[in-house]
Amino acid sequence: MAKMRMNQAISAALADEMRADPDVVMFGEDVAVAGGPFKTSDGLLAEFGPSRVRDTPISEMGFLGAAVGAASTGLRPVVEIMFIEFLGVALDQLATEAAKFHYLSGGKLTVPLTVRASTGAGLGFGTQHSQTLEGWLIGTPGLKVAVASGPQTGYGLLRAAIQDDNPVVVLEPRVRYSTRAEVNVGDDAVIPLGVAARVADGNDVTIVGLGGTVLTALDAAGRAQGWSADVIDLQTVYPWDRATVLESVQRTGRVVTVEENPFGGGWGTDITSVVGAELFGRLAAPPLRITAPDVPVPYGKHLEARYVPDAEYVTAQIDHLVSHGELPPHWWDDGEVGQ
Amino acid sequence: MAKMRMNQAISAALADEMRADPDVVMFGEDVAVAGGPFKTSDGLLAEFGPSRVRDTPISEMGFLGAAVGAASTGLRPVVEIMFIEFLGVALDQLATEAAKFHYLSGGKLTVPLTVRASTGAGLGFGTQHSQTLEGWLIGTPGLKVAVASGPQTGYGLLRAAIQDDNPVVVLEPRVRYSTRAEVNVGDDAVIPLGVAARVADGNDVTIVGLGGTVLTALDAAGRAQGWSADVIDLQTVYPWDRATVLESVQRTGRVVTVEENPFGGGWGTDITSVVGAELFGRLAAPPLRITAPDVPVPYGKHLEARYVPDAEYVTAQIDHLVSHGELPPHWWDDGEVGQ
Amino acid sequence: MTSEAIARREQVRTDRVARYERMVEIRALEDRVQELFAEGLVHGTTHTAQGQEAVAVGVAAAARATDSVTCTYRGHGVALALGLTPLDVIGEIMGRTVGSIGGVGGSMHLCEPAVGLLPTFAIVGAGIPVAAGAALTAQVRGTDTAAVAVFGDGSSNIGAFHEGLNLAAIWSLPVVFVCENNQYGEYSRINLTTPITDLADRATSYGMPSQIVDGQDPDAVHAATEKALDHARAGSGPTLLEMKTYRYAGHSRADTAPYRPEGEFEDWYDNRDPINGFRARLEAEGTLTPEQVDAIGHEVAARIEAAVTDAEASPRAGIETMFANIVAPATEGT
Amino acid sequence: MTSEAIARREQVRTDRVARYERMVEIRALEDRVQELFAEGLVHGTTHTAQGQEAVAVGVAAAARATDSVTCTYRGHGVALALGLTPLDVIGEIMGRTVGSIGGVGGSMHLCEPAVGLLPTFAIVGAGIPVAAGAALTAQVRGTDTAAVAVFGDGSSNIGAFHEGLNLAAIWSLPVVFVCENNQYGEYSRINLTTPITDLADRATSYGMPSQIVDGQDPDAVHAATEKALDHARAGSGPTLLEMKTYRYAGHSRADTAPYRPEGEFEDWYDNRDPINGFRARLEAEGTLTPEQVDAIGHEVAARIEAAVTDAEASPRAGIETMFANIVAPATEGT
Ligand SMILES: Cc1ncc(C[n+]2csc(CCOP(=O)(O)OP(=O)(O)O)c2C)c(N)n1
Ligand SMILES: Cc1ncc(C[n+]2csc(CCOP(=O)(O)OP(=O)(O)O)c2C)c(N)n1
Ligand SMILES: [Mg+2]
Ligand SMILES: [Mg+2]
Rounded CA separation B113/A197 (Å)? 44
Is residue D284 packed enough to be buried (19+ CB in 10 Å), middle (13-18) or exposed (0-12)?
Answer: exposed
* For ligand 1, atom 13: residue with the closest CA: C185
Query: What is the DSSP pairing of strand B236-238 with strand B144-147?
Result: antiparallel
DSSP state of D187: T
Query: What's chain C's length in residues?
Result: 334
Q: Which residues constitute the domain of residue D256?
A: 2-312
Query: What is the DSSP pairing of strand B229-233 with strand B197-200?
Result: antiparallel
- Three-class SS of D23-57: HHHHHHHHHHHHHHHHCCCCCCCCCCCCCCHHHHH
* pLDDT attached to residue B337: 59
What lines the ligand 1 site, CB under 6 Å? A 29, 58, 60, 82, 86, 89; C 72, 74, 122-124, 151-155, 180, 182, 184-186, 247
Q: Return the amino acid letter for D115.
A: V
Q: Catalytic site residue A102?
A: no
DSSP state of A336: T
Structural domain contains residue C317 = no
Please compute the mean of the pLDDT values over residues B135-152 and round it to a whole number.
98
Query: What is the DSSP pairing of strand D239-244 with strand D175-181?
Result: parallel
> Which residues are B80's β-sheet partners?
B28, B116
pTM of the predicted protein model: 0.98
In the Cβ-directed half-sphere of B283, how many Cα atoms lie within 13 Å? 33
Residue B51 confidence (pLDDT) above 70: yes
Rounded CA separation C64/C54 (Å)? 17
Residue A103 CA to ligand 4 centre (angstroms): 27
C177 in contact with chain B, both atoms CB, cutoff 8 A: no
SS3 D7: helix
pLDDT tens for each residue of A26-75:
999 999 999 999 999 999 999 999 999 999 999 999 999 999 999 999 99
B137 φψ region: left (φ > 0), alpha (ψ -120 to 50), beta (else): alpha
C159 vs B72: CB contact, 8 Å cut-off?
Answer: no
CATH number, domain of C28, equals: 3.40.50.970
Low-confidence ranges of chain A (pLDDT < 70): 335-339
Rounded CA separation A297/A134 (Å)? 15
- Torsion sign (Cα): A29, A31, A37, A41: positive
Please compute the mean of the pLDDT values over residues B267-291 and round it to a whole number.
98
The span from the first CA to the last CA of chain C, in angstroms, equals 30
Distances (CA, A) of C208 to B148, C194, C238, D195: 41, 20, 7, 8
Structural domain contains residue C327 = no
Structural domain contains residue D283 = yes
Structural domain contains residue C172 = yes
Query: What is the DSSP pairing of strand D184-185 with strand D188-189?
Result: antiparallel
- Three-class SS of A219-272: HHHHCCCCCCEEEEECCEEECCCHHHHHHHHHHHCCEEEEEEEECCCCCHHHHH
* pLDDT attached to residue C333: 44
Smallest CA-to-CA distance from D81 within D152, D10, D149, D130 is with D10
D137 vs A75: CB contact, 8 Å cut-off?
Answer: yes
Please compute the mean of the pLDDT values over residues C169-184 and round it to a whole number.
98
Contacts of D331 (CB under 8 A, 6+ apart): A160, A163, A164, A165
On chain D, the residues whose CB falls within 8 A of the CB of A108 are 101, 111-114
Q: Which fold has domain A2-189?
A: Rossmann fold (3.40.50)
DSSP state of A329: P
Where helices occur in B116-180 by DSSP H, the ranges are 151-163
Of the residues D46, D128, D186, D242, which should be mutated to test ligand 2's pocket, given the most ligand atoms within 8 Å of the CB?
A: D186
Structural domain contains residue C318 = no
pLDDT tens for each residue of B99-113:
999 999 999 999 999
In the Cβ-directed half-sphere of A267, how many Cα atoms lie within 13 Å? 29
Rounded CA separation C21/C15 (Å)? 10
* pLDDT attached to residue B336: 58
Q: Answer for the pair A100, A111: CB distance below 8 angstroms, yes or no.
A: no
Rounded CA separation D312/D302 (Å)? 15
Q: Answer for the pair C115, C65: CB distance below 8 angstroms, yes or no.
A: yes
Query: What's chain B's length in residues?
Result: 339
Chains that touch A (3 or more CB pairs under 8 A): B, C, D
Q: Answer for the pair A104, C82: CB distance below 8 angstroms, yes or no.
A: no
On chain C, the residues whose CB falls within 8 A of the CB of D161 are 162
Please compute the mean of the pLDDT values over residues C224-240 and round it to a whole number.
98
Q: Pick from A85, A129, A307: which is nearest to C322 by CB?
A: A307
* Total of domains in chain C: 1
- Torsion sign (Cα): D248, D251, D257, D260: negative
Structural domain contains residue C154 = yes
Distances (CA, A) of D256 to A56, B64, D186, D224, D261: 44, 29, 11, 33, 13
Q: How confident is the model at residue C322 (pLDDT cuts 50, 70, 90)?
A: very high
pLDDT tens by residue, chain D, 334 residues: 789 999 999 999 999 999 999 999 999 999 999 999 999 889 899 999 999 999 999 999 999 999 999 999 999 999 999 999 999 999 999 999 999 999 999 999 999 999 999 999 999 999 999 999 999 999 999 999 999 999 999 999 999 999 999 999 999 999 999 999 999 999 999 999 999 999 999 999 999 999 999 999 999 999 999 999 999 999 999 999 999 999 999 999 989 999 999 999 999 999 999 999 999 999 999 999 999 999 999 999 999 999 999 999 999 999 999 999 999 986 544 4
Domain ranges of chain B: 2-189, 197-324
SS3 A129: helix
Residue of chain B with shortest Cα separation from A95: B88
Preferred mutation among B96, B101, B104, B246 to probe A, highest tally of A CBs within 10 A: B96
* For ligand 2, atom 5: residue with the closest CA: D124
Residue C154 CA to ligand 1 centre (angstroms): 6
The span from the first CA to the last CA of chain D, in angstroms, equals 30
Residue C331 confidence (pLDDT) above 70: no
SS3 B236: strand
Minimal CA separation from D264 to chain B, in Å: 19
Smallest CA-to-CA distance from B131 within B81, B94, B65 is with B81
Chains that touch D (3 or more CB pairs under 8 A): A, B, C
Q: Answer for the pair B43, B8: CB distance below 8 angstroms, yes or no.
A: no
Residue C74 CA to ligand 3 centre (angstroms): 10
Smallest CA-to-CA distance from B101 within B144, B71, B63 is with B71
Q: Which CATH class is domain A197-324?
A: alpha beta
Structural domain contains residue D138 = yes
What lines the ligand 2 site, CB under 6 Å? B 29, 58, 60, 82, 86, 89; D 72, 74, 122-124, 151-155, 180, 182, 184-186, 247, 251
Residue C332 confidence (pLDDT) above 70: no
Sheet-wide strand order for A255-262: A197-200, A229-233, A205-209, A255-262, A288-292
C170 in contact with chain B, both atoms CB, cutoff 8 A: yes
pLDDT tens for each residue of C274-293:
999 999 999 999 999 999 99
Residue D181 CA to ligand 4 centre (angstroms): 6
* pLDDT attached to residue C88: 98
Rounded CA separation C146/C234 (Å)? 10
Mean of per-residue pLDDT scores for chain C:
96
* pLDDT attached to residue D1: 73
